[in-house]
Amino acid sequence: MSLILKKIKSNIFLSLVILTYIILFIFLPDKGIQSLNNSLYYIKEMLIIMPVILLLTSLIEAWVPRKTIQNSLGEGSGIKGILFSFLFGSFSAGPIYAAFPICKMLIKKGASVANIVIILSAWAVIKIPMLANEAKFLGPQFMLVRWFLTSLSIATMAIITSKIVKKVEIPMDDIITRDDAVLNVDKNFCVGCGLCVSVSPENFVMKGKKANTAKIILISEENDKIKTAIEKCPAKAIKYM
């Protein structure tokens, strides 16, 4: 019994879906059958699309260097990263759920939370083929105004999400390998004492009242000064992620 409860707890969303189906089949069997057919349709669609997406994700993961993704979509990528994220999301193909494994891989490789929000949102609502259809049916003016306002909302969402959701809070343990890890300063913990910058000025800089890494540093590039900074940081804010 406790094993069943444990399974339900660890798969709470799936358990809720199953419970909903059971209730539907008891009280509204017609709706239950209709819902089951819809679900089976989407599962079939996912089974066709997901292998291709997972293959694409693995290819990007294997062939695109971490530094390239960090430079193009990482925390310091600025306007370039924002534009690239909009283009990536807008020119993508396939349903939105296909974007999730790709985005998780991009986060693992160093993309920022803000840019991931832009990619996902652009993928969902401003894809280029969709815009062309929208202009055809509702007119170019409608499409352009909606595109502009949607893009503005996406940028706002990206800023807000990146303030609320920190990278460390995104579950990554299942895919991060030790070799991939990049040195990071967790701004939530950094108390701005500047010790890391004094110990290793070539690797750390102060940005405002918080420390930051001066460049992208892979775990394979660790040296004695970095080790000392990690050990001596009073807030234990420096870690590989």
171 vs 208, which CB is nearer to ligand SF4?
208
CB of 204 to ligand SF4, least distance (A): 6
Q: How many helices (H) and strands (E) does the chain have?
A: 11, 4
Q: Of 149, 74, 156, nearest to 115 (Cα)? A: 74
Task: Tell me whether residue 57 or residue 184 sits nearer to ligand SF4 (CB atom).
Answer: 184
Instruction: For the CB of residue 238, give the shortest distance to ligand SF4 in the complex, in Å.
Output: 5
Q: 10: exposed, middle or buried (C-beta count within 10 Å: 0-12, 13-18, 19+)?
A: exposed
Confirm if 239 and 184 have CB atoms less than 8 A apart: yes
- The residues pairing with 205 across neighbouring beta strands, listed in sequence order, are 212
Provide the minimum distance between the beta carbon of 214 and ligand SF4 in the complex, in angstroms, as a whole number: 12
User: What is the binding site for ligand SF4 (CB under 6 A)?
Assistant: 185, 190-196, 211, 233-235, 237-238
In whole angstroms, how close is the CB of 201 to ligand SF4 at the nearest point?
A: 11
Query: Which C-beta is closer to ligand SF4: that of 122 or that of 238?
Result: 238
118 vs 183 by CB, closer to ligand SF4: 183
Buried b (16+ CB within 10 A) or exposed e, 49-75: ebeebeeebeeebeeeebeebbebbbb
User: How far is C-alpha 173 from the geometric centre of its chain's CA atoms?
Assistant: 14
CB of 111 to ligand SF4, least distance (A): 22
Residue with Cβ nearer ligand SF4 (114 or 196): 196
